[in-house]
Amino acid sequence: MHVPEQRELPARDVVVVGGGIVGLSVAWRAARAGLTVTVLDPSPGDGATHAAAGMLAAVTEADFGEEHLTRLNLASAARWPAFAADLAAASGQDVGLQRRGTLAVAYDRDDLAVLRRVLALHRRWGLASAEVPVAEARRREPFLGPRLAGAALVDGDRAVDPRAVHAALTRALVHADGRAGSRAGGGALVRRAAVRLEQDHAGRVVAVHDDAGGRHTAGAVVLATGTPRDDTLLDGVPGVRLPVRPVKGLTLRLDAGPGLTPEHVVRGIVQGRPVYVVPRPAGTGTGPGSGPEHREVVVGATSDERPDDRRAEAGSVFSLLRDARALVPGLDEAALVDVTPRARPATPDNLPLIGATAVPGLLAATGHGRNGVLLAPLTADAVLAALTDGGVPLRLPADAPADLLGAADPRRFATTTRRAPEGAPA
Amino acid sequence: MHVPEQRELPARDVVVVGGGIVGLSVAWRAARAGLTVTVLDPSPGDGATHAAAGMLAAVTEADFGEEHLTRLNLASAARWPAFAADLAAASGQDVGLQRRGTLAVAYDRDDLAVLRRVLALHRRWGLASAEVPVAEARRREPFLGPRLAGAALVDGDRAVDPRAVHAALTRALVHADGRAGSRAGGGALVRRAAVRLEQDHAGRVVAVHDDAGGRHTAGAVVLATGTPRDDTLLDGVPGVRLPVRPVKGLTLRLDAGPGLTPEHVVRGIVQGRPVYVVPRPAGTGTGPGSGPEHREVVVGATSDERPDDRRAEAGSVFSLLRDARALVPGLDEAALVDVTPRARPATPDNLPLIGATAVPGLLAATGHGRNGVLLAPLTADAVLAALTDGGVPLRLPADAPADLLGAADPRRFATTTRRAPEGAPA
């Protein structure tokens, strides 16, 4: 084994391990608040971010037994318009915010029964949705298929283009300057894998070692690792094996052209199976080709309790195409340009891990499951509040529960490994 | 417009325009016979060759009204074992010859009625096929699906891997030496597009001009252009607009692994739609990954009267997956690794264009439709016989009709353009 020579790098306020949409959001917000930040990732944005469709679907993702998650999702959805505007201004890049809202549709009568149960849940939780006649749904969205049993409007559920968001975050991070009055902040993205955390004698995390021998001294370390493909990642700290499991998903990217593209996000239940069709606004999209003759549409997503093997099972592709064309038949004529299998990081209770861990100096920003894109702004603000000990206050909606972020506290899970920190008495 | 400076290149016995499997087969055979050969193609093998599944299916391709084509296909199928062995020896590369034969299956009773009509046609034409009980088919091929109405064995129909054949031809061509006693032959592959044919005052084609200003003097020119993406190709010669139309097709490549891969080619009719599943022999295949844990399976193919727009319509992908999984359900677990849309070159009578054209010095080797891979050896031998005026005799099977190649004579079609050759009196 080749052991690289150790290189000492300039000390940073924060080192973020993982450069997906969550890690970069944390890093960018921290750099904007005047902190110096390094993000470590050998292939930034190539995890769940690369597959994500980018729905900001706090309402249509709401599910029985997940009220805590729904409240977190709503609080983050409320942040997205300003986050997208800030990011566009900081990066000079569009992030493909879809503003037309979502149509939730049911394919057959059994699916309509499911949809109505969910709409009743929305009413119970005070979420904005409204059943409409199918004819009304089709008037708003002429690309809907001929066979639908029911429909509902969810105006608040929108979408962004995660690949565009990631590109904008990368650019904004690297160009971030500290605010006036604070010491100069700034961001760096280092394309290296973190391989080990280093603790001092008191057990505080003080540095991250990368696979090229670099030692990144840090005031604090944020783990935004999603589902690491390599279980050996981040050796060297007791109790930091985060309780994250991979939930594999597959999305398809189509080039639909202007004549075949719906203007709303369409979420359906087709013979019991969930499927969604997410169009990018005209003139945006990160797929092959650009310009008015191209319109990107994302179809997703499967959910399988499987590791991130990056295999696009033919049966999953088949299933997504079958259900998407049932909702929007014109997609048959769109070109399939990309099939993206990735795993999402899920936790035992399907709530994320946001904030301080049991290890001093170590924070978490992961475990977001299906909602990583949606929860990125809230996660970034919450982690920044924790990093600055309230120096940057976490502003929440007036109607948010007082314990909103308590449900996402990483310390709710017991640590799984207990080894003596390096150099400490055994 | 940038007009490149003309460069004079060494004179060759033959210039082949088009470096797909047909063009390279002609070129390799000619070089082996002692001729000097240049092949011109800006992206060799990226046309129909890249999509082709590689079935050598003279029997299962036999269709009503196409007895001439079937006879050509049989004559070429008979050449394939020796061609593959020669090519493997000349290149040192395997070409993935599948030796297990083909299972023809019918999904429902209507499909079985179609299959039986085809089997009756086989008997009438003396082709070897035999209906067997479904249980017998499943005993031979345990990966067949649970619902099948009927099956037949066609032992003579096999397959090769067209991408492997193309790679082997490329290598063999460049290393080809003339035979003892002849002047030194040899092959060259030039990655340039042919843009103009040049004729002498008598109207004989004497050179090909490429898009870098190269002038390739040639004893004869062979057009193996498939379906050119650019209609302006090959300006400058009257009467050489070949009567070829594009028939677009799509194939899928799956990585099935050893546990999911059938051992036979499976051709099916599924509710009236033709579909095939072509496994590569263990240890071969040109897909991503190699080694015993990978097995390539090709699923094909759609047929649409459309130009070569290189778009993989989602509806076509869906349709192929639906029908292939009906025949071999285990493919659901295989990884989809490649979707390849390309056009095949088809003629008005669906017979190829092989041999001398009405223009002196100009030969054709194109228009093979669905049978380009299968017909490559026969085409190469026939073109070589024409190039050498019988100096290299075209050996045909004893039972081949005397006029076998007459049906493929390019001169059966009227030329479509009549302009005066350059430099000739108007």
For residues B417 and A405, which has the higher predicted lDDT (pLDDT)? A405
Whether the pLDDT of residue A230 is over 70: the answer is: no
Q: Decide: B104 and B267 in contact? Cβ < 8 Å.
A: yes
Virtual CA dihedral for B409, B413, B418, B423, nearest 10 degrees? 0
Nearest CA to CA, how far is B368 from chain A (Å)? 26
| Residue listed under structure tokens 């007459």 | B406
**What domains sit in chain A, N to C, each tagged with a CATH number?**
7-50+164-244+349-413 (3.50.50.60), 102-155+246-345 (3.30.9.10)
Structure token digits, residue A365: 């920003």
Query: For residue B403, what pLDDT is reported?
Result: 86
Residue B182, pLDDT score: 42
pLDDT at A392: 85
Contact yes or no for B38/B16 (Cβ under 8 A): yes
Q: How high is the pLDDT of residue A425?
A: 43
Select from B313, B315, B325 the Cβ nearest to the Cβ of A315: B325
Identify which of A313, A335, A337 has the shortest CB distance to residue B333.
A313
HEC assignment per residue over B346-387 = ECCCCCCEEEECCCCCEEEEECCHHHHHHHHHHHHHHHHHHH
Contact residues, chain B, for A332 at CB < 8 Å: 313-315, 318
- The per-residue pLDDT for B236 is 58
Count CB atoms within 10 A of the CB of residue A180. Answer: 6
Q: What's the pTM?
A: 0.91
Report pLDDT digits (tens) over B392-409: 888 888 888 878 999 999
Who among A318, A325, A331 is closest to B325 (CB)? A318
Distance of alpha carbon B359 from alpha carbon B241, whole angstroms: 11
> Mean pLDDT across the stretch A328-347?
96
Phi, psi of A54 (to 5 degrees): 90, 20
DSSP-based three-state secondary structure for B274: strand
Asked if A317 lies within 8 A of B314 by C-beta distance, the reply is: no
Shortest distance between the Cα of A70 and any Cα of chain B, in A, equals 34
Q: Do residues A264 and A156 touch, judged by C-beta distance below 8 A? A: no
pLDDT of residue A258: 75
Q: Which residues from chain A sit within 8 angstroms of residue B335, using beta carbons?
A: 311-314
Percentage above 90 pLDDT, chain A: 75
Residue among B255, B313, B335 minimizing CB distance to A335? B313
The pLDDT tens digits of the residues spanning A287-325 come to 555 567 788 999 999 999 988 899 999 999 999 999 999
Tell me the per-residue pLDDT of A93-105, one tens digit each, with 9 for 90 and over.
999 899 899 999 9
Q: Give tens-digit pLDDT for B323-374.
A: 999 999 999 999 999 999 999 999 999 999 999 999 999 999 999 999 999 9
Bond into A135 cis (ω within 30): no
The C-alpha atoms of residue B179 and residue B420 are separated, in whole angstroms, by: 40
Q: What is the ipTM of this complex?
A: 0.88
Q: Model confidence over B43-83: pLDDT tens digits? A: 999 999 999 999 999 999 999 999 999 999 999 999 999 99
- Give the model confidence (pLDDT) of B175-208 as tens digits: 876 444 444 468 999 999 998 999 999 999 999 9
Average of pLDDT values for A229-248?
71
Chain B interface includes A321 (CB < 8 A): yes
Q: How many CB pairs under 8 A join A and B?
A: 68
pLDDT score for B417: 46
Is residue A324 within 8 Å of A331, Cβ to Cβ?
A: yes
Whether chain B has a CB inside 8 Å of the CB on A252: the answer is: yes
Q: What letters, b where the CB count within 10 A reaches 16 and e where it falls short, cover A115-126? A: beebbebbeeee
Closest listed residue to residue B98, CA positions, set B335, B316, B357, B278? B278
Assign A203 a pLDDT band (cuts: 50, 70, 90). Answer: very high
Two tokens, residue B194: 């042919």
Contact (Cβ atoms closer than 8 angstroms) between residue A105 and residue A150: yes
Of residues A401 and B13, the one with the higher pLDDT is: B13
Whether residue B425 is predicted with pLDDT greater than 70 in this model: the reply is no
**pLDDT score of A161:** 96
Reading the block at residue B155, the tokens are 């032992």
Contacts of A324 in chain B (CB under 8 A): 314
CA distance A194 to A19: 11
Give contacts of A317 with chain B, Cβ < 8 Å: 317, 321, 336
> CB–CB of B313 and A325 under 8 A?
no
More confident residue, A425 or B346: B346
Flag whether residue A304 sits within 8 Å of chain B, measured between CB atoms: no
Chain segment A338-368, per-residue pLDDT in tens: 999 999 999 999 999 999 999 999 999 999 9
Evaluate if residue A229 carries a pLDDT over 70.
no
The tens digit of pLDDT for each residue in B100-141 reads 999 999 999 999 999 999 999 999 999 999 999 999 999 999
Q: Which of the four pLDDT bands, split at 50, 70 and 90, describes residue A213?
A: very high
Is B313 within 8 Å of A336 when comparing Cβ atoms? yes
pLDDT band at A418 (very low <50, low <70, confident <90, very high): very low
Give me the residue from B313, B315, B321 closest to A318, CB to CB. B321
CB distance from A311 to chain B under 8 Å?
Answer: yes
Q: Cα separations (Å) of B111 from B118, B272, B380?
A: 11, 6, 37
Provide the terminal-to-terminal Cα distance of chain A, rounded to the nearest Å: 28
Instruction: Out of B313, B331, B335, name the one closest to residue A311 (CB).
Output: B335
Rounded to an integer, what distance in angstroms lies between the CA atom of residue A41 and that of residue A43?
Answer: 5
Q: Give contacts of B334 with chain A, Cβ < 8 Å.
A: 313-314
Best A255, A317, A322 member to test B by mutation, with max B CBs in 10 Å, is A317
Q: For all residues of chain A together, what is the average pLDDT?
A: 90
Chain A residues 337-366 with CB within 8 Å of chain B: 337, 339
Dump pLDDT digits (tens) for B228-242: 765 545 655 665 678
Is residue B21 a contact partner of residue B45, using CB atoms and an 8 Å limit? Answer: yes
pLDDT tens profile A13-44: 999 999 999 999 999 999 999 999 999 999 99
- How many residues are listed for chain A in this entry? 426
Structure token digits, residue A155: 């105006």
Q: Flag whether residue A314 sits within 8 Å of chain B, measured between CB atoms.
A: yes
Structure tokens at A98: 């879809």
Q: How far apart are CA A23 and CA A26, in angstroms?
A: 5
**Residue A223: pLDDT band with limits 50, 70, 90:** very high
Among the partner residues A252, A315, A332, nearest to B333 by beta-carbon distance: A315
What's residue B232's pLDDT?
Answer: 45
* Cβ atoms of residues A326 and A244 within 8 Å: no
pLDDT of residue A271: 97
Phi-psi domain of B367 (left: phi exceeds 0; alpha: psi -120 through 50; beta: other): left
